[in-house]
Each structure stands twice: as structure tokens, then as C-alpha cells.
Amino acid sequence: MTKLSVNINKLATLRNSRGGNNPDLIKSAKDMERFGADGITVHPRPDERHIRYADVYDLKKIVTTEFNIEGNCTEQSFVDLVLANKPTQVTLVPDSKNQLTSNHGWNTIVHKEYLTGIIAVFKNAGIRVSIFVDPVIEMVEGAKTTGTDRIELYTESYAREFAIGNKELGIQPYITAALKANELGLGINAGHDLDLNNLKYFVENIPGLLEVSIGHALICDAIYLGLENAVQLYKRCLK
């Protein structure tokens, strides 16, 4: 079954908005694992506007499922943070310094040399590596040449098409990309704008999907449904 990794950035944003420690990030991560989450994802940014670097060290001590740190590996501070904490997985995202949210995948052809080098750094430390890519055959083929273990398919375009009733059109590039990844022996993750409406259809149609990383939608749903119920409803979509 596809695993659910919960991105807890939004909980950190809420905490930071008032100072103090409410909500408690550590308790929340422990509770999500208890409720059925298969992993915890964080995406620290240089300005620490949500997840702080100190949070990563604290979470490393208590996460008992898979710990996934994603972010911009062109920032040396991010590289150092990952190497110091050695998560289960690092997901490399081509963000700019002040970017609001991730909005595209790597050009694995243009950046092949750089990606090959930085991926080797993390793999030599015993960390599984995934890189953010768009659902484009050439980008998937390029990813294979970098030595990455997995790709994470950036799903914003699928979610946008699904929302306006074009789910068959929206899913097709992802099916094609997944088939190519399977052929090349690349593991497949996915994330961005996946929610309770579009997740089940995506999972049912993507062969070999190992993991989805979901944060914003799940935390928004938890406001209405409760955190435990939200985690379990997302897990149900993955069966």
C-alpha cells in the first residue's frame, strides 16, 4: 500500500504566528504516527518561517516512522542540516530562497552534473534520495542518470485538472511518467495539492506509487474533521 507522509509545516506556521509552543510540533508528530501516518515530512526554509532548524533536531529524536526532510539543496545550511540528522529520506526541491511554495520540478538534464554530485553526498551518508520532477518523460529519464533512488512527481497540474472535471486528462502525464520510472527502476513518490477529493483516483491510476507527502490539505481538513480522523481518512484513500 502507498505510504502517507504528513507534512507538518502548516502546524509550525500556526505555532510561529503567536510564539510559544501551541500547537506542540513534537506532540503532533507523535500523535500523527499513532493515528496511522507512515512518515513525517518537514520542509525547512532559510528564513525559518514555519519549520525551524531546531525543530528538525527535535523531531529526529522522536519520529519512529520514516522521517523525510525536503528542501533546497543549493543552500549549504540545508545540506548541513540533513547530514547532521540523517533522515530516512531527503527530497531535493528546486526552490528559490523566498519562494512561497514549491511550484516546479528539477530540469534533470540541465542540472544533471549538479544533481549527480549532491545526490552522491546524501547517499554516501546512508540517506535515501528523492528529487522533485514534473511528469515529463525526459525529466524522468534524466533523473535516472543522476543516481537518485526515487522521484517525487509534482502533482499541482493533476489537482488543477481534477478540480475542473478533467481528471482523465490530468492523470495521463503522470501515468506515462510512472510507467517510465518503473521501467527505469526508480521509486515513485508524489505530492502537492493532493487532497481527499483527488487522492484516491491518483493512487488507483499510478503504478508503483510508494509514498505521498501531504500537508496543507490534511491540516485544513483536520480543522473540521479532527486530526485523527483526517489522518485516517487520507490513509483510507491509499488502500
Estimate the crossing angle of helix 9-18 against helix 216-225, to 10 degrees. Answer: 70
Strand partners, 211: 3, 189
CA 62 to CA 68: how far, in whole Å? Answer: 13
Chain centroid offset of residue 186 CA: 16
In degrees rounded to 5, what are phi and psi of residue 130? -125, 145
Give residue for cell 506556521. 13
Whether omega for the bond prior to residue 23 falls within 30 degrees of 0, making it cis, is yes
Annotated catalytic residues are 43, 70, 192
